[in-house]
A and B are shown apart, each in its own frame.
Chain A
Amino acid sequence: MKLNTKFIFPTLVLTAVLTSCGGNAEDNEKGKVTVEETNFESEEDDFVLPQPITMAQMFKEAGLTYVAGKTNSAENKSKYSQKIDQLLNLGVYSTDLAYCAINNKTQEAREYLVAIQYLGSKVGLESVFSDKELVNRFDKNLGDQGAMEELIYDIQDKIDSYLDENSMRFLAAVEFAGAWTEGIYLGIDDSRKKPAEIGPTLVEQMVLLENTIKGLKSHPAKDDKRLKEIITSFEKVLNSYNGFESVKKANANKNFEAPVLSSAEFETLAKEIEKLRSSIVTPVK
Chain B
Amino acid sequence: MRNVLFLGLIGFCGLILSVASSAPNDGAFDAQVNTMKQECKDMISSCRYEGSKITYYVAGSAKQTKNVELFLFLAKEYQIAISAKKSAASITVKFYDAAPEVKDRKLIKEYKAVNGKSFLVSSDELNKLYRKKAPEVERLKNIHVEYSIGTGKNVKEAAVLVYGFKA
A205 to B71, CA, bound (A): 10
CB-contacts of B1-43 with A (<8 A): 15-17, 19-20, 23-24, 30, 34, 37, 41
CB-based nearest B residue for A39: B56
Per-residue CB contact flags for chain B residues 55-86 toward chain A (1 = under 8 Å, else 0) read: 11110000011111111011100000000000
Contact A54-B53, Cβ < 8 Å, known A46-B66, A164-B37, A255-B142:
no
CB-contacts of A11-43 with B (<8 A): 13-14, 16-17, 38-43
Residues of B contacting A14 with CB < 8 Å? Answer: 19-20, 23
Residues of B contacting A40 with CB < 8 Å? Answer: 23-24, 56, 58, 156
A208 to B57, CA, bound (A): 25
Chain B interfacial positions (CB closer than 8 Å to A) = 15-17, 19-20, 23-24, 30, 34, 37, 41, 48-58, 64-71, 73-75, 97-100, 102-103, 105, 130, 134, 136-137, 140-142, 156, 161, 163-164, 167
Q: A55 near B: Cβ within 8 Å?
A: yes
Verify B58–A146 contact, CB threshold 8 A.
Answer: no
Contact A45-B67, Cβ < 8 Å, known A54-B74, A255-B134, A255-B142:
yes
Top-10 shortest CB links A-B: A48-B51, A47-B69, A254-B142, A157-B49, A153-B48, A253-B98, A17-B20, A42-B55, A42-B56, A45-B67
Verify A50–B156 contact, CB threshold 8 A.
Answer: no
Verify A46–B71 contact, CB threshold 8 A.
Answer: no
Verify B97–A253 contact, CB threshold 8 A.
Answer: yes
7 residue pairs of the A-B complex, CB under 8 angstroms, read A10-B19, A13-B15, A39-B54, A46-B69, A48-B68, A153-B164, A205-B73
CB-based nearest A residue for B142: A254
Verify B74–A48 contact, CB threshold 8 A.
Answer: no
A54 to B164, CA, bound (A): 11
Verify B51–A50 contact, CB threshold 8 A.
Answer: yes
Size band of the A side of the interface? 35 or more
Residues of A contacting B75 with CB < 8 Å? Answer: 61
CB-based nearest B residue for A164: B54
CB-based nearest A residue for B57: A41
Residues of A contacting B15 with CB < 8 Å? Answer: 13
Contact A46-B24, Cβ < 8 Å, known A40-B156, A51-B50:
no
Verify B19–A44 contact, CB threshold 8 A.
Answer: no
A14 to B136, CA, bound (A): 51
A253 to B130, CA, bound (A): 13
Taking a contact as CB atoms closer than 8 A, the residue among A16, A157, A253 that contacts B105 in the complex is A253
CB-contacts of A197-242 with B (<8 A): 204-205, 207-208, 211
Verify B102–A44 contact, CB threshold 8 A.
Answer: no
Residues of B contacting A61 with CB < 8 Å? Answer: 74-75
A158 to chain B, nearest CB (A): 10
Taking a contact as CB atoms closer than 8 A, the residue among B41, B58, B73, B137 that contacts A204 in the complex is B73
Besides the known contacts A50-B51, A61-B74, 20 further A-B residue pairs in the complex with CB atoms under 8 A apart: A16-B16, A17-B20, A39-B24, A40-B58, A41-B56, A42-B57, A45-B99, A45-B100, A48-B52, A50-B71, A51-B49, A54-B74, A146-B167, A150-B167, A153-B50, A160-B52, A164-B54, A205-B73, A253-B97, A255-B142
